[in-house]
């Protein structure tokens, strides 16, 4: 790997502008950010999204990393902005999130584990707020704020299903109540760190966090609890983006990690803002498929001040399209052009969603050795017919940047044209109508089925002035809210079970269908294979 100071120099930073964490990673202080690009024009921002994920995997992160390497191969000045993986999936089933093969972000093991401690700081701040909230109730310091009014749940980075629901305060040790834990990636503080544009904004957002309600349904905030100062102290360094590098030495900013299914699924606004003023082409990734992370990238991240993208890349695999075409997992390596053609409806839908937001799309076919020429021709024809500006094969896993030059050339041509970004609803539209619009335009649902008290809750949120965008929490394995429905299902309902307010993150989380905010470990978790070898090297972290 290159010394991190050399990587920083590619972004116009001197050694004194960064805070090194060893020789291979560093923090970028906010006062080191350039105020504008040296050329006077910001770099082009390209967002990576994908078809609806399948158990076979689509390689979105691998494509993002490889594309940055490919851009460097054709003489461009690129940078990557990507999320840090959560420890839950690393030790669970999904594995790491640093790409694969010859298209990875380094140091991969550290990125997949502790990196610079951002997640630990975030969880410490989140759980400190929980403890201080319980203490305020225990000591009766806010009138009419009682144990049953607390809504702020604790978080953990482990996929520990036993903590989904918990009784706390037993034996008189604090206010006794039913509570529970969420995965750290679903923390509102994680979302706030990914959306804040500086310390002043961070302080304001933390103060706005709603931790519960008084008996007369008045919200109680973190500011009233008195926790904001302590949280700011814990989060001082976590707000600074982390500088790492691709396997081929291009700059990679790794910052924050909200999930795309139960949170807004994007790396930080700060990382994007820095990157577009320091590089000519910036590749960023949105979590899961176009109906989830990409939609949230636009309706939440861009709406709240994130740089507007110039183009989108929609990643697909032949295997994934076969799956959506009805093929069983065990048969995905068997040639089946007919199933691929059927599955391209899902690709067409992803392209349709990117176009809803005004973005021109390039389709990247993440190649596998068993892909046949007939299958590849079917995908290329379908993508162009659906309105993609270009289609290119992506061989980043096997060949690194050399296997991504065709895609890089296509992306540059499309991004240089720019896009006319639009959003699918206005800020002032009611919460109920926003969900109805999403159900119709994004998910193809026949109707929204509102659970008990959910519409009343939506109106109560609006009465407090919270006309925020929707963060839809639903399965990532289907365009619908039912993970069993593949391809582009129709005739289904969107069941809204619960609404949660994230006033600091300025979004309303709507839980659709059977969605868990704290996953559980599988029967054979990755944790069984992760170890430290006799040479002190970490082994078994998938995705590295």
Q: CA 237 to CA 25: how far, in whole Å?
A: 14
Check whether residue 364 and residue 352 sit in a common domain: yes
Query: Do residue 307 and residue 349 come from a single domain?
Result: yes
Residue 543 lies in a domain: no
Tell me which residue of 263, 302, 206 sits closest to 83, measured CA to CA. 263
Q: How far apart are CA 534 and CA 544, in angstroms?
A: 19
Has residue 57 been placed in a domain?
yes
| CATH number for position 43 | 3.40.50.300
Residue 200: inside a domain, yes or no?
A: yes
Please state whether beta strands 177-179 and 166-168 pair in parallel, antiparallel, or not at all (unpaired): antiparallel
- Please tell me the predicted confidence (pLDDT) of residue 157: 93
In a domain, 423, yes or no: no
The mean-pLDDT minimum among 185-199, 246-260, 511-525 falls in 511-525
DSSP string, 2-40: --HHHHHHTTT--GGGSEESSSS-EE--GGGS-SS-TTS
| 245 and 156 fall within a common domain | no
Backbone angles phi, psi at 266, to 5 degrees: -135, 150
Q: How far apart are CA 137 and CA 215, in angstroms?
A: 12
User: What are the two backbone dihedrals, phi and then psi, of residue 298, each rounded to the nearest 5 degrees?
Assistant: -80, -55
Whether the bond into 107 is cis, omega within 30 of 0: yes
Three-state DSSP class for 476?
A: coil
**What is the three-class DSSP state of 115?**
coil
Rounded distance between C-alpha atoms, residue 462 and residue 428, angstroms:
10
pLDDT at 333 > cutoff 70: yes
- Judge contact between 323 and 329, C-beta under 8 A: yes
d(CA 176, CA 162): 18
Question: How far apart are the C-alpha atoms of 269 and 301, rounded to whole Å?
Answer: 7
Q: How many CA atoms lie within 13 A of 134 on its CB side?
A: 19
Residues 219 and 291 in one domain: no
Where does a domain end: 207, 232, 257? 232
**Which three-class secondary structure state does DSSP give residue 218?**
coil
Domain closes at, from 204, 232, 260: 232
Residue 349: band (very low, low, confident or very high) from pLDDT cuts 50, 70, 90: very high
354's CB contacts (< 8 A; 6+ apart) are 49, 290, 294, 312, 314, 361
Domains identified in the chain, total number = 3
pLDDT at 299 over 60: yes
Q: How much is the mean pLDDT over the chain?
A: 96
pLDDT in tens, 199-237: 999 999 999 999 999 999 999 999 999 999 999 999 999
Q: Strand 251-254 vs strand 242-246: parallel, antiparallel, or unpaired? A: antiparallel
pLDDT at residue 544 greater than cutoff 80: no
User: Distance of alpha carbon 417 from its chain centroid, rounded?
Assistant: 26
Beta-carbon contacts of 284 under 8 Å, excluding residues fewer than 6 positions away, are 45, 46, 47, 48, 64, 80, 81, 82, 266, 267, 271, 272, 275, 309
pLDDT at 127: 98
Domain end, chosen from 232, 258, 286, is at 232
Q: Are residues 20 and 33 in the same domain?
A: yes
Please check whether residues 143 and 209 belong to one and the same domain.
yes
Do residues 410 and 443 both lie within one domain? no
Containing structural domain, residue 472: 431-512
Task: Tell me the pLDDT tens digit for each residue of 367-386.
Answer: 999 999 999 999 999 999 99
Residue 542 lies inside a defined structural domain of this protein: no
230 Cβ partners below 8 Å, 6+ apart?
125, 128, 132
Are 340 and 474 in the same domain?
no
Task: Quote the tokens at residue 411.
Answer: 């992306």
- Quote the CA–CA distance of 159 and 98 in Å, as a whole number: 20
- 424 part of a folded domain: no
CATH code of the domain containing 504: 3.10.410.10
Residues 282 and 393 placed together within one structural domain of the fold: yes
Q: Check whether 323 has a pLDDT greater than 70.
A: yes
DSSP 299: I
**Residue 543 pLDDT > 90:** no
501 shares a domain with 410: no
Q: Are residues 259 and 209 in the same domain?
A: no
417 pLDDT more than 80: yes
Is 11 inside a domain boundary? yes
CATH number at residue 186: 3.30.1510.10
94, 148: one domain: no
pLDDT digits (tens, 9 = 90+) for 234-274: 999 999 999 999 999 999 999 999 999 999 999 999 999 99
185-224 in b/e burial notation, b at 16+ Cβ within 10 A? bbbbbbbbbbbbbeeebbbebbbbbbbbbeeeeebbbbbb
Q: Is the pLDDT of residue 325 over 60?
A: yes
Q: Residue 524 domain-assigned?
A: no
Question: Which pLDDT tens digit goes with each residue over 19-33?
Answer: 999 999 999 999 999
DSSP state of 336: -
Phi-psi domain of 491 (left: phi exceeds 0; alpha: psi -120 through 50; beta: other): left
**Over the stretch 444-475, which tens digit does the pLDDT of each residue have?**
999 999 999 999 999 999 999 999 999 999 99
């Amino acid at each position: 790997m290159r010394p991190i100071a050399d990587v920083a120099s590619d972004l116009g930073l001197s050694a004194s502008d960064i805070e090194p964490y060893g020789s291979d990673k560093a923090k970028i202080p906010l006062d080191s950010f350039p105020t504008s690009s040296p050329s006077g024009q910001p770099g082009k921002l390209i967002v990576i999204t994908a078809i609806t994920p399948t158990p076979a995997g689509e390689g979105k992160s691998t494509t993002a990393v490889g594309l940055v390497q490919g851009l460097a191969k054709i003489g461009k000045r690129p940078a990557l902005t990507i999320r840090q993986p959560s420890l839950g999936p690393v030790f669970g089933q999904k594995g790491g999130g640093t790409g694969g093969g010859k298209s990875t972000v380094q140091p991969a093991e550290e990125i997949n584990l502790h990196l610079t401690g951002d997640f630990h700081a975030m969880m410490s701040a989140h759980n400190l707020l929980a403890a201080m909230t319980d203490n305020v109730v225990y000591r009766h310091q806010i009138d009419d704020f009682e144990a049953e009014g607390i809504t702020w749940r604790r978080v953990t980075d482990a996929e520990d299903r036993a903590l989904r629901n918990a009784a706390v305060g037993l034996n008189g040790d604090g206010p006794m109540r039913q509570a529970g834990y969420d995965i750290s990636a679903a923390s509102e503080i994680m979302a706030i760190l990914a959306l804040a544009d500086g310390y002043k904004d961070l302080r304001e957002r933390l103060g706005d966090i709603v931790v519960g309600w008084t008996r007369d349904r008045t919200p109680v905030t973190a500011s009233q609890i008195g926790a904001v100062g302590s949280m700011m102290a814990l989060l001082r360094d976590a707000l600074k983006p982390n500088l790492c590098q691709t396997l081929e030495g291009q700059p990679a900013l790794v910052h924050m990690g909200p999930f795309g299914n139960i949170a807004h699924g994007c790396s930080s606004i700060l990382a994007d803002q820095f990157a577009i003023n320091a590089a000519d082409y910036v590749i960023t990734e949105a979590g899961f498929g176009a109906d989830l992370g990409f939609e949230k990238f636009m309706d939440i991240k861009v709406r709240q001040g994130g740089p507007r993208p110039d183009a989108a890349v929609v990643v697909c695999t032949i295997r994934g399209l076969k799956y959506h075409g009805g093929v069983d997992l065990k048969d995905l390596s068997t040639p089946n052009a007919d199933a691929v053609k059927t599955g391209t409806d899902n690709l067409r839908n992803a392209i349709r969603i990117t176009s809803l937001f005004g973005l021109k799309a390039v389709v990247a076919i993440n190649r596998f050795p068993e892909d046949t020429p007939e299958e590849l021709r079917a995908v290329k024809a379908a993508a162009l017919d659906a309105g993609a500006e270009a289609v290119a094969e992506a061989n980043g896993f096997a060949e690194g940047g050399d296997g991504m030059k065709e895609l890089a050339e296509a992306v540059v041509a499309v991004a240089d044209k720019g896009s006319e970004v639009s959003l699918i609803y206005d800020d002032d539209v009611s919460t109920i109508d926003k969900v109805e619009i999403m159900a119709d335009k994004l998910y193809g649902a026949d109707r929204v089925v509102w659970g008990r008290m959910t519409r009343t809750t939506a109106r109560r949120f609006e009465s407090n002035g919270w006309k925020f965008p929707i963060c839809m929490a639903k399965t990532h394995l289907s365009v619908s809210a039912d993970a069993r429905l593949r391809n582009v299902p129709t005739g289904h309902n969107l069941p809204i079970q619960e609404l949660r307010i994230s006033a600091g993150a300025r979004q309303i989380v709507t839980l659709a269908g059977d969605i868990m905010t704290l996953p559980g470990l599988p029967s054979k978790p990755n944790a069984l294979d992760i170890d430290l070898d006799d040479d002190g090297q970490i082994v078994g972290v998938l995705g590295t």
